[in-house]
């Protein structure tokens, strides 16, 4: 449906120097799927999205929507944004303050070609406003809407021309925390109901995990890893991805050897059995990533691999869970436990690490 | 999707075969070309002319340094230079004192009648310079001036107490006229200074003198200097006062000397140009320092705290003195000038107020002026020019502003500077420059309304730019991008998104330009010809003819009309929440 191949972009900064933004970015989004570009600010995700929109002209690469080339440096094709007919929701929503809700949503139908009759416009705008539950506010001034309503109006405006592709640029970042969580569900339901192919840009990993069919994690202009939310979270391909998505403990280690599907490594807190995405050779330096919730704590010693003893260093009660900082040797590890665990600070505690959840990554 | 596919192939072929016509580039190109033309051409011709001998039927113009040699070789020029300097420095210093005292009284003391203070901000817009000067002649001339007559009556002498036809008279009238500007600028300065800065110095153990020298003065110094600079440039550019008060007694400054040189027979345009270039150099330096100051002003951003209400000094019984000062000032700047105009407009022949004259009150001058042959033509011309120039300026500058603010085009800063260039032109210099341009470019503009339109558009281009820039900066770029994503072309986006969003600024700027164009005199005076008079020129002519009562009648109606316009402008600004630029 959407194919991006070898996309390179650059921009001119204040001093007139050209800065590389995205570099050799390639991905594909199948029909009806929600694809997320996730990364810290300045990683090139927004530039990539704006290149698809046509608001920025990349330096090289090729972008195809439904088999139509909309940008290709080789064939010298660049369709201007106003003739790409893609829907887009901006970070600021960009609701025009001098128009009513209806006028905002009707604008795409009025300016595009072919011309639509007044009746069709009326019909289609009513329909799309109904989809986003704004049909009762059609005549209201757009500036009188609340943040969540403005966001839905922006969505309606992007959808009204029934575009093949919907582009969302951090659409939830301007909402307060509570509303953001509600809109997350609503957005997901809407996308799944309409079945519109969507590219979503965000720096918020929980948003990405909650909404996407597929996520591309970007850093410094390049895609680090592409995969389903579960793959990205449970099998991070690099130290950056493991660190950026969720919180994690990193342990420096050296590979000892292979044991079936797993590897045995010598880490700073003792020998561990771990899983690895890449082929590893003995003697290789690696970093092992273990998520806090995969570090199970108990007061009794358990049998099995990857069991270590430590002492409770600090604990923080968070309501739904308790965060323990456990000191093992010289290292302090973060573990998330059920609030029923009440071990006191300074007391000994046992940690058991699921070998399947310990991911060995090449040293960055 | 097939439509997308076909349009894609069409674009590629179109791109290869022929550049697709786009209204966007036509509009942008036209606006940029117009700004360049208006900003650069007059300056070029003026410089060129100052290096040439006058062209006559027998002799072609030739390159010479003679104009400058004559201008700088003669003692007269140095007198001119000295006069201009004394006049501008005196005016700015006096206006600054008036303005600062009033601003301090208004912002930091509990003087009563504060509502009246803000009436001051609109006075300079309502009373055009020429009427203010004429009113002050009626008040302060040695023979018929009311002030002198009243004082003579009181002290029973024949002495002349106040002579408006002198350097001091000129400074007095011009300083009074510009003092509201000083008031506004210094009010802003007082407002932006957080008293906590002074109070914390006091808490640190500083004495009053130490607070003033180490904290207050260093903080307000940029504002003081900027205010003085603006006043100095305004004063050195001012034409009405030096022409009406200085010329009759032979005190010339640059602006009146230029006027004289052009209106002499045979006119000495080369000499006038070299004066004009000198004046231009002075104003350019002034405007340059202003811009340096305002950029440097950002260093003092900590001063612009918001939401504090300065503690007011309780003046106790002294507040009767301050309110008296204010009332006297108000009398001098509004009540007396307007009253004297009104009085003289109700007389058949000008005579000083007396019981006897009171018997002869008549509306005759109004009848005469309304029946005056060139009145309706001038009003029509003024309206046409004001509406035309305001509309052109606001539309053209909206496009220029869009380029400067919204695009990353190379050289856009240059465009900004070129469009602001007319700011350094004193009105009379611009008039002279345009006169030279269209005497040499035989395109039938000289002697028509068009040349006045060109002058007004050029002169007010920077104002339009300023109003539009303020609004343009507030338009988030995503508002335009989302229109593009909706399929709107640049022209559609500009018409349906950008212009409507600019509306408050456009409207406020438009009305402001209408007001200042209607009062314009110093450029028009060199460019009008019979048939293309405007209202201010008509007033000038009535003065030259000695028709004081008709002039007064016209003046009173003119001031009332301007008052209505200014109130309208204020209403629009409040309604759309735009602050005066």
Domain limits, chain A: 2-240, 247-362
A–B CB contacts, 8 A cutoff, strictly below: 104
In A, which residues are within 8 Å of B507 by CB distance? Answer: none
pLDDT tens profile B437-466: 898 888 888 889 999 999 999 999 999 998
Q: Which of B4, B15, B481 sits opposite A90 (nearest CB)?
A: B481
CATH topology of domain A247-362: OB fold (Dihydrolipoamide Acetyltransferase, E2P) (2.40.50)
pLDDT at residue number B7: 41
Query: Helices B449-473 and B23-50 meet at what angle, rounded to 10?
Result: 120
Report d(CA B42, CA B425) in Å as an integer: 10
Nearest residue on chain A to B478, alpha-carbon basis: A94
pLDDT of residue B4: 40
**A195 Rama sector, left if φ>0, alpha if ψ -120 to 50, beta otherwise:** left
The answer to which of B52-56, B304-308, B310-314, B523-527 has the lowest mean pLDDT is B304-308
Mutation to test the B interface, candidates A79, A99, A100, A104, most B Cβ within 10 Å: A79
CA dist A205 and B390 (Å) reads: 53
Is the CB of residue A321 less than 8 Å from the CB of residue A343? Answer: no
Secondary structure, 3-state, B188-200 = HHHHHCCHHHHHH
Contacts of B497 in chain A (CB under 8 A): 96
Query: Rounded to the nearest 10 degrees, what angle do helices A118-131 and A101-111 cross at?
Result: 130
Q: Residue A232's closest CA among A78, A29, A31, A39?
A: A39
pLDDT over 80 at B173, yes or no: yes
Query: Looking at the partner chain, which of A85, A86, A94 has a beta carbon nearest the beta carbon of B479?
Result: A94
Q: Is B397's pLDDT higher than 60?
A: yes
- List the domain boundaries for chain B: 22-64+367-581, 86-305+314-362
**Terminal C-alpha separation, chain B:** 49
B571-580: long-range contacts (C-beta < 8 A, 24 or more apart)?
A: B572/B504, B572/B507, B572/B508, B572/B511, B573/B504, B573/B508, B576/B503, B576/B504, B576/B507, B576/B508, B577/B504, B578/B470, B578/B471, B578/B504, B578/B505, B578/B508, B580/B121, B580/B508
Binary contact (B482, A90; C-beta < 8 A): yes
pLDDT at B64 over 90: no
Contacts of B488 in chain A (CB under 8 A): 82, 107, 111-112
Pick the CATH number of B86-305+314-362 from 1.20.20.10, 1.10.3720.10, 3.40.630.30, 1.10.357.10: 1.10.3720.10
Rounded CA separation B398/B387 (Å): 17
Q: Within an 8 Å CB–CB cutoff, is residue A131 touching chain B?
A: no
Q: Residues 281..320 of A with a Cβ closer than 8 Å to B: which? A: none
The per-residue pLDDT string of chain A (364 residues; one tens digit each, 9 = 90 and over) reads: 999 999 999 877 766 677 888 999 999 999 999 999 999 988 899 999 999 998 888 999 999 999 999 999 999 999 988 888 899 998 888 888 888 999 999 998 888 777 888 999 999 999 999 988 898 999 998 888 888 899 899 999 999 988 999 999 998 888 888 888 888 888 999 999 999 999 999 999 989 999 999 999 999 999 999 999 999 998 998 999 999 998 899 999 999 988 888 999 999 888 899 998 788 888 889 999 999 999 999 888 888 788 988 999 999 998 889 999 999 988 999 999 998 888 899 999 999 998 888 999 987 6
Task: Find, in chain A, the residue whose alpha carbon is nearest to that of B13.
Answer: A77
Mean pLDDT, residues B318-334: 88
| Contacting residues of A for B485, CB less than 8 Å apart | 53, 55, 81-82, 84, 86-88, 158, 167
Domains B22-64+367-581 and B86-305+314-362 share a fold: yes
The CATH superfamily assigned to B22-64+367-581 is MetI-like (1.10.3720.10)
A68 to B8: CB separation less than 8 angstroms, yes or no: yes
CB B574 within 8 A of CB B508: no
Write out the two tokens for B297.
């002003």
Residues in chain B: 581
Fold (CATH) for A2-240:
Rossmann fold (3.40.50)
Tell whether A185 is within 8 A of chain B (Cβ): no
Asked if the domains A2-240 and A247-362 are classified in one and the same CATH topology, the answer is no
**pLDDT at residue B55, rounded to an integer:** 61
Q: Does the CB of A350 have a partner CB in chain B at under 8 Å?
A: no
Q: Which of A79-88, B310-319, B529-538, B550-559 has the lowest mean pLDDT?
A: B310-319
- Contact status, residue B521 vs residue B541, Cβ threshold 8 Å: no
What is the model's pTM?
0.80
Which one is predicted more confidently, B301 or B204? B204
Specify the pairing of strand A25-29 against strand A249-259: unpaired
Which residue from A67, A87, A96 is facing B479, i.e. has the nearest CB?
A96
Distance CA A38, CA B290 (A): 47
Q: Is the pLDDT of residue B294 over 50?
A: yes
For tokens 């007011």, name the residue.
B312
| CB pair distance less than 8 Å for B487 and A83 | yes
CA distance A115 to chain B (A): 12
Q: Over 80: is that where the pLDDT of B115 sits?
A: no
- The Cα–Cα gap between A195 and A32 comes to 5
């Amino acid at each position: 449906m959407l194919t991006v191949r070898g996309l390179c972009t650059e921009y001119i900064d204040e001093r007139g120097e050209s800065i590389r933004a995205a570099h050799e970015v390639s991905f594909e989004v199948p029909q009806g799927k929600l694809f997320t570009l996730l990364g810290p600010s300045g990683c090139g995700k927004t530039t990539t999205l704006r290149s698809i929109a046509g608001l920025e002209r990349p330096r090289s690469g090729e972008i195809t929507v439904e088999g139509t080339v909309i940008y290709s440096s080789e064939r010298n094709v660049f369709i201007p944004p106003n003739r790409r007919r893609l829907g887009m929701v901006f970070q600021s929503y960009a609701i025009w303050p001098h128009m009513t809700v209806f006028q905002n949503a009707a604008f795409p139908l009025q300016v595009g070609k072919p011309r639509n009759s007044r009746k069709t416009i009326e019909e289609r705008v009513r329909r799309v406003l109904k989809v986003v539950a704004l049909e009762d506010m059609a005549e209201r001034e757009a500036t009188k809407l609340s943040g969540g309503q403005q966001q839905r109006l922006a969505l309606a405006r992007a959808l009204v021309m029934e575009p093949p592709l919907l582009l969302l640029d951090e659409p939830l970042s301007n909402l307060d925390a509570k509303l953001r969580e509600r809109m997350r569900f609503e957005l997901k339901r809407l996308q799944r109901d309409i079945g519109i192919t969507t590219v979503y840009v965000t720096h918020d990993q929980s948003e990405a995990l909650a909404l996407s069919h597929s996520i591309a994690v970007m850093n410094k202009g390049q895609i680090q890893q592409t995969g389903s939310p579960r793959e990205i979270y449970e099998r991070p391909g690099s130290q950056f991805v493991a660190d950026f998505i969720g919180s994690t403990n990193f342990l420096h280690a050296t590979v000892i050897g292979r044991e079936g599907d797993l590897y045995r490594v010598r880490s700073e807190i003792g020998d561990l059995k771990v899983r690895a995405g890449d082929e590893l050779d003995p003697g290789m330096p690696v970093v092992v990533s273990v998520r806090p919730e995969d570090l199970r704590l108990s007061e009794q010693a358990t049998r099995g691999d990857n069991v270590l003893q430590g002492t409770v260093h600090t604990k923080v009660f968070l309501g739904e869970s308790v965060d323990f900082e456990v000191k093992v040797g010289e290292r302090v590890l973060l573990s998330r436990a059920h609030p029923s665990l009440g071990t006191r600070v300074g007391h000994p505690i046992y940690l058991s690490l699921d070998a399947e959840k310990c991911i060995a990554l090449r040293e960055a | 999707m097939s439509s997308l596919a076909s349009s894609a192939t069409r674009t590629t072929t179109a791109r290869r075969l022929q550049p697709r016509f786009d209204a966007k580039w036509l509009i942008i190109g036209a606006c940029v070309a117009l700004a360049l033309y208006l900003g650069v051409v007059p300056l070029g011709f003026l410089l060129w002319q100052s290096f040439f001998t006058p062209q006559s039927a027998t002799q072609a113009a030739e390159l010479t340094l003679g104009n400058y040699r004559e201008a700088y070789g003669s003692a007269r020029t140095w007198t001119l230079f000295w006069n201009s300097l004394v006049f501008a420095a005196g005016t700015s210093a006096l206006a600054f004192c008036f303005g600062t005292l009033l601003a301090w009284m208004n912002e930091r003391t509990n003087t009563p009648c504060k509502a009246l203070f803000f009436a001051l901000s609109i006075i300079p817009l309502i009373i055009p310079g020429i009427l203010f000067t004429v009113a002050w002649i009626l008040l302060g001339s040695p023979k018929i001036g009311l002030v002198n007559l009243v004082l003579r009556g009181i002290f029973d002498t024949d002495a002349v107490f106040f002579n408006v036809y002198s350097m001091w008279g000129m400074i007095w009238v011009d300083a009074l006229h510009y003092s509201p500007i000083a008031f506004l600028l210094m009010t802003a300065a007082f407002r932006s200074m957080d008293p906590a800065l002074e109070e914390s110095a006091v808490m640190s153990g500083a004495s009053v003198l130490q607070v003033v020298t180490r904290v207050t003065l260093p903080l307000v110094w940029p504002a003081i200097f900027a205010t003085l600079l603006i006043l100095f440039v305004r004063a050195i550019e001012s034409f009405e006062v030096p022409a009406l008060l200085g010329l009759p007694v032979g005190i010339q400054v640059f602006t009146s000397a230029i006027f004289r040189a052009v209106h002499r027979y045979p006119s000495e345009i080369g000499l006038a140009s070299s004066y004009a270039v000198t004046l231009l150099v002075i104003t350019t330096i002034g405007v340059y320092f202003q811009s340096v100051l305002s950029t440097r002003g950002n260093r003092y951003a900590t001063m612009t705290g918001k939401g504090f209400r300065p503690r007011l000094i309780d003046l106790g019984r002294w507040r009767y003195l301050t309110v008296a000062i204010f009332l006297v000032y108000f009398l001098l700047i509004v009540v007396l000038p307007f009253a004297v105009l009104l009085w003289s407009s109700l007389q058949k022949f000008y005579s000083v107020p007396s019981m006897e004259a009171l018997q002869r009150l008549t509306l005759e001058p109004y009848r005469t002026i309304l029946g005056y042959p060139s009145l309706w033509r001038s009003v029509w011309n003024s309206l046409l020019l004001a509406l035309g120039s305001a509309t052109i300026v606001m539309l053209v500058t909206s496009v220029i502003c869009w380029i400067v603010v919204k695009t990353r085009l190379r050289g856009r800063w240059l465009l900004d500077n070129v469009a602001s260039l007319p700011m350094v032109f004193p009105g009379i210099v611009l008039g002279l420059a345009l006169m030279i341009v269209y005497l040499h470019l035989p395109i039938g503009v000289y002697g028509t309304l068009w040349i006045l339109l060109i002058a007004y558009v050029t002169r007010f281009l920077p104002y339009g730019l300023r109003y539009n820039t303020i609004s343009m900066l507030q338009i988030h770029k995503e508002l335009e991008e989302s229109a593009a994503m909706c399929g709107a072309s640049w022209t559609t986006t500009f018409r349906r998104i950008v212009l409507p969003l600019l509306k408050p600024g456009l409207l406020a700027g438009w009305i402001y330009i209408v007001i200042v164009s209607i009062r314009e005199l110093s450029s028009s005076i060199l460019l009008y010809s019979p048939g293309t008079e405007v209202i201010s020129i008509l007033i000038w002519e009535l003065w030259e003819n000695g028709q004081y009562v008709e002039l007064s009648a016209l003046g009173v109606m003119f001031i009332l009309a301007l008052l209505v316009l200014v109130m309208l402008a204020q209403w629009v600004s409040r309604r759309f929440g735009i602050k005066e630029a």
